[in-house]
Every structure is written in structure tokens, then in C-alpha cells.
């Protein structure tokens, strides 16, 4: 029988045919699965997604300091400036060397640059 054709009633009927010790074993397995829903029946463990830093501090820093760093790349850890400069590779390297978890690295257009309207 194909598993997709099986119903709960059919499964319950099969369980009723099990010896008592196997029913106890099944009960323990189901109870464990309910207590640990992050572990699938095949033993694969659910892994939490990678946390993303809250961008609020970086956005505030950008709003307050963008004019000072126009035309440059900046690397931020929250509201802490890690590095800045006109060379993106150097700024990325400095952020990497700092070891901070998921820094924000972005380019700040010059204050007198026309607004970007898309291509």
C-alpha cells in the first residue's frame, strides 16, 4: 500500500494488531516526537535560521553621518564605524578583519549627486 493512500483509521487498525510491548515503544516514540518537534521522524534536526542584526542603529548612524562620508564606502557594526574609504575592497577587508558578525557595508553617494532613479 502506498503511504499517501493510508488513512488514520487504517493506521490505528494496524497499531491495534501490535503486541503490547511494541505499542509501548510506539507510544514512547510519538511522545518523544511531540516533545521535540524540531526533530523530524527521519532524525533530521530543524536548525534555527541565522539571526540577522537589527539594522536600526546602522540606519540611524547613516542618517546622522552620511554627509561626512559622501562618495565613500562605510562598514558599520550597529552604530560603530569599522572602516570607510573610496575603495570597496579595502573597506570589506577591514570589516572582515574586525571579525564583526554581519557588518553593514554600503556606499554613501556624494551629497551633491543626483538622485538614483533606476536603470
Model confidence pLDDT, tens digit, residues 59-105: 999 999 999 999 999 999 999 999 999 999 999 999 999 999 999 99
Contact 81, 74 (CB under 8 A): yes
- pTM confidence score: 0.58
- Grid coordinates representing 29 are 516514540
- Altogether, the residues listed in the chain come to a count of 119
Q: What is the pLDDT of residue 41?
A: 60
How far apart CA 5 and CA 35 sit, in angstroms, is: 27
Backbone region of residue 34 per phi and psi (left: phi > 0; alpha: psi in -120 to 50; beta: other values):
alpha
Q: How far is CA 31 from the centre of its chain?
A: 29
Amino acid at each position: 500500500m502506498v503511504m499517501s493512500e493510508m488513512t488514520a483509521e487504517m493506521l490505528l487498525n494496524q497499531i491495534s494488531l501490535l503486541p503490547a510491548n511494541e505499542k509501548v515503544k510506539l507510544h514512547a516514540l510519538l511522545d518523544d516526537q511531540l516533545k521535540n518537534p524540531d526533530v523530524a521522524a527521519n532524525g533530521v534536526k530543524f536548525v534555527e535560521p541565522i539571526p540577522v542584526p537589527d539594522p536600526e542603529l546602522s540606519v540611524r548612524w547613516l542618517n546622522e553621518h552620511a554627509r561626512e562620508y559622501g562618495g565613500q564606502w562605510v562598514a558599520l557594526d550597529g552604530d560603530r564605524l569599522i572602516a570607510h574609504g573610496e575603495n570597496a575592497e579595502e573597506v570589506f577587508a577591514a570589516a572582515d578583519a574586525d571579525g564583526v558578525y554581519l557588518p553593514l557595508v554600503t556606499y554613501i553617494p556624494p551629497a551633491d549627486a543626483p538622485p538614483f532613479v533606476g536603470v
